[in-house]
Amino acid sequence: MPPETPTDTAKARAPRHDGWGTLRRFLPYLWPSDDWGLRGRIIGAVALILLSTATQFTLPYLLKWAVDAMAVTGPRVITFAMLFVLAYAAARLGGVVFDNLRNIVFERVGQQATAQLAEHVFNRLHRLSLRFHLARRTGEVTKVIERGTKSIDTMLYFMLFNIAPTVILLVGVGVIFYLNFGWPLVSATALALVAYIWVTRAITEWRTKLREQMNRLDGQALSRAVDSLLNYETVKYFGAERREEARYAQATRAYAAAAVTSENSLGLLNIAQALVTNLLMAVAMALTVYGWARGEYTAGQLVFVQTYLMQLFRPLDMLGMVYRTIRQGLIDMADMFRLIDTEIEVQDAPGAPALVVKRPTLAFDNVRFGYEPDRTILNGLSFEVPAGSQVAIVGPSGAGKSTIARLVFRFYDPWSGRILIDGQDIAQVTQASLRAHLGIVPQDSVLFNDTIGYNIAYGREGAGLAEVEQAAREAALMDLIGRLPQGFDTEVGERGLKLSGGEKQRVAIARTLVKNPPILLLDEATSALDTRTEQDVLATLHRVSTGRTSLSIAHRLSTIADADLILVLNAGQLAEQGTHAELLRRDGLYADMWARQAEAAEQVEEAAE
């Protein structure tokens, strides 16, 4: 089995986002400058937080007064005690109402902020270079987005509706304890809170590292599962089910071990927190009982202290989870912002105009390019494709044929030289306008997991049924669609795998016809097809290329023998050019390639006989 390659090395070396810095970057999503409706909801939620906190401050007083009233006899006292008890119940109900109204008011804010950030990340991913997407695993990227978006709403809830009210409650309880009991109880409460926060932070920091390890292993397990399932046929071809199961099992077991350690650490955190809170409760109750024995306090003050401490402990009991959730939320959000911060390799020039094509010519002017600095693919390549002509590019493997298509679509920018369409440098125009004038039928036509009609209409936004049917007719797809019970509504499956190779190619051709571009690129569009299907698809391609400028990148020379001009590449340079007959008479590289392919074809025929 090949050695494993760590997939998170770059992530591990990437600079970590500062917590406050991450929050500052998120605030514009939470407090949008152009939406006063959402701002009003935030203000309303804050007002409801203050009302809820105010009712919590009144509860212990109402309970204390009721208990003290019960210590005295008389009809009027009973009435007061009853009123205090009813007021206590009403205040508790009011607190619940305020809390839920706060959630209702704020819910739209949190969901819209989450949606906007998720859309921003998704849009950014589509603007990143092909190099980024070839280097990253799809499963890991989707997991980063999933964790980041899920953490936002929970993190906001805890920060605004737990941390903020708890801080207000702490200050208020400190003042009330000082006014009613003096410094001893305030000091004991403050000391316990410091100890509680320190213990919680120390253990939670340790747990955060465990959580990061869990996330890494979880992403690794998901990426292996997605990678294996996407390559289902390859796994079957090589009988590698056990190998894939072993790789996935290794990742899931590592994740399970990390999860066990993380959950066990949670038990330790809960024990440490309970020790601090119960010690404080014991000290506070003992001080109150001692004061009662000396005649300084009433029985109601014992309930008073207990109620305030219980109210204080309720949010504090969640402090570990809250801190961990916020901490993890910041980490997950930072991962999303790291995706947003990924440099866009290919960008429009400032103020770039739209490409205007009157004569769809295509030219390479001394273009040098390579995917890596130490390996040059195209070395000073120059050629021209006249408007309305059908030009083919051939050459040995590694000559740079497919690289040309990627450069024309501007998935990469050349190191030097220019690529011109109708005399305009494509690096100086907008990418959207450039690609609007280009169509391609790739070697591997990958389709969306949707219907045939959807995949054909994908060629141009807003394409109608009549245009889809016309494109399908021109791509010789109507016989297939007529045989299918659901016609255009037939699902094509993951990456179009429910269709044959020839059917997928025809759908790709129809999709390009809906786009109706003036320049057409055919990137070895028939190399994966059998001879009969290839001839059918070639006839379709020749028909749809009429009247357009087409550039065919071919491996089989027989498929481009009738091209107006054939360019022969070798080692990233133009070695020969001419028509099929001219190149054969020249007896150079093209003639040698033709002879080799003809000999191979004869050997296949002899073997078949």
Of the chain, the percentage scoring pLDDT greater than 70 comes to 87
Indicate whether 397 pLDDT > 50: yes
Contact 549, 360 (CB under 8 A): yes
Tokens of 242: 């056990």
Indicate whether 126 pLDDT > 60: yes
Same domain, 598 and 462: no
What would the mean pLDDT of 407-433 be, rounded to a whole number? 90
287 CB-contact burial (10 Å; exposed 0-12 / middle 13-18 / buried 19+): middle
144 CB-contact burial (10 Å; exposed 0-12 / middle 13-18 / buried 19+): buried
Question: Of residues 106 and 421, which shows the higher confidence score?
Answer: 421
Same domain, 511 and 525: no
Q: Where among 516, 531, 565 does a domain terminate? A: 516
**pLDDT digit string, tens, across residues 538-573:** 777 777 777 788 888 887 787 788 888 999 988 888
Beta bridge partners of 375: 372
- Going by pLDDT thresholds of 50, 70 and 90, the confidence category of residue 162 is confident
What would the mean pLDDT of 117-124 be, rounded to a whole number? 77
Residue 177 is assigned to a structural domain of this protein: yes
Closest CA to 57 of 319, 303, 312: 312
Number of H helices, E strands in the chain: 21, 10
Same domain, 336 and 362: no
Indicate whether 15 pLDDT > 50: no
**Rounded Cα gap, residues 357 and 388, in angstroms:** 13
Same domain, 123 and 183: yes
Indicate whether 6 pLDDT > 50: no
Indicate whether 4 pLDDT > 60: no
- Going by pLDDT thresholds of 50, 70 and 90, the confidence category of residue 25 is confident
Question: Of residues 484 and 525, which shows the higher confidence score?
Answer: 484
| Residue-range definition of the domain harbouring residue 491 | 446-516
Residue 4 is assigned to a structural domain of this protein: no
What would the mean pLDDT of 101-114 be, rounded to a whole number? 78
Residue in the structure block whose two tokens are 């399932």: 229
**Rounded Cα gap, residues 380 and 399, in angstroms:** 13
- Going by pLDDT thresholds of 50, 70 and 90, the confidence category of residue 365 is very high
Helix (H, G, I), strand (E, B) or coil at 296: coil
Indicate whether 596 pLDDT > 80: yes
The confidence score (pLDDT) of residue 563 equals 86
Indicate whether 420 pLDDT > 90: yes
579 CB-contact burial (10 Å; exposed 0-12 / middle 13-18 / buried 19+): middle
CATH of the domain at 505: 3.40.50.300
The confidence score (pLDDT) of residue 71 equals 67
Same domain, 155 and 191: yes
**Rounded Cα gap, residues 42 and 149, in angstroms:** 20
Q: Where among 483, 516, 549 does a domain terminate? A: 516
Same domain, 101 and 159: yes
Same domain, 472 and 366: no
Indicate whether 289 pLDDT > 80: no
Beta bridge partners of 494: none
Tokens of 274: 């309970």
Closest CA to 11 of 175, 196, 217, 163: 217
Residue 26 is assigned to a structural domain of this protein: yes
Indicate whether 534 pLDDT > 70: no
Provide the domain count of the chain. Answer: 3
What would the mean pLDDT of 136-143 be, rounded to a whole number? 66
**Which residue type does 377 have?**
I
Same domain, 20 and 92: yes
SS (H, E, C) 421-487: ECCEEHHHCCHHHHHHCEEEECCCCCCCCCEHHHHHHCCCCCCCHHHHHHHHHHCCCHHHHHHCCCH
**Rounded Cα gap, residues 121 and 562, in angstroms:** 47
CATH of the domain at 151: 1.20.1560.10
Beta strands 565-570; 378-385: pairing state? unpaired
What would the mean pLDDT of 404-423 be, rounded to a whole number? 90
**Rounded Cα gap, residues 270 and 261, in angstroms:** 15
Distance spanning both ends of the chain, measured CA to CA: 40
Same domain, 34 and 107: yes
**pLDDT digit string, tens, across residues 572-587:** 888 889 988 888 888 8
Tokens of 542: 């020749």
Indicate whether 599 pLDDT > 50: yes
The confidence score (pLDDT) of residue 74 equals 57
Residue 237 is assigned to a structural domain of this protein: yes
489 secondary structure, DSSP code:
G
Strands, sheet with 565-570, edge to edge from the N-terminal-most edge strand = 438-441, 519-523, 549-553, 390-394, 565-570, 573-578
- Among 147-156, 226-235, 408-417, the range scoring the smallest mean pLDDT is 147-156
Same domain, 109 and 80: yes
Indicate whether 335 pLDDT > 90: no
**pLDDT digit string, tens, across residues 195-209:** 888 887 787 778 777
Contact 391, 552 (CB under 8 A): yes
**Rounded Cα gap, residues 408 and 410, in angstroms:** 5
Q: Kindly write down the DSSP assignment for every residue of 475-536, as one continuous string.
A: TT-HHHHHHSTTGGG-B--GGGTTS-HHHHHHHHHHHHHHH--SEEEEESTTTTS-HHHHHH
Residue 2 is assigned to a structural domain of this protein: no
Indicate whether 212 pLDDT > 80: no
- Among 138-142, 218-222, 346-350, 389-393, the range scoring the smallest mean pLDDT is 138-142
Residue 505 is assigned to a structural domain of this protein: yes
Q: What's the pTM value of the predicted model, to 2 decimals?
A: 0.61
Same domain, 314 and 356: no
**Which residue type does 335 have?**
D
Same domain, 482 and 499: yes
Q: What does the angle CA 195 – CA 197 – CA 199 come to, to the nearest 5 degrees?
A: 65
Closest CA to 67 of 294, 276, 306: 306
What average pLDDT does the chain have? Answer: 79
The confidence score (pLDDT) of residue 255 equals 83
- Going by pLDDT thresholds of 50, 70 and 90, the confidence category of residue 353 is very high
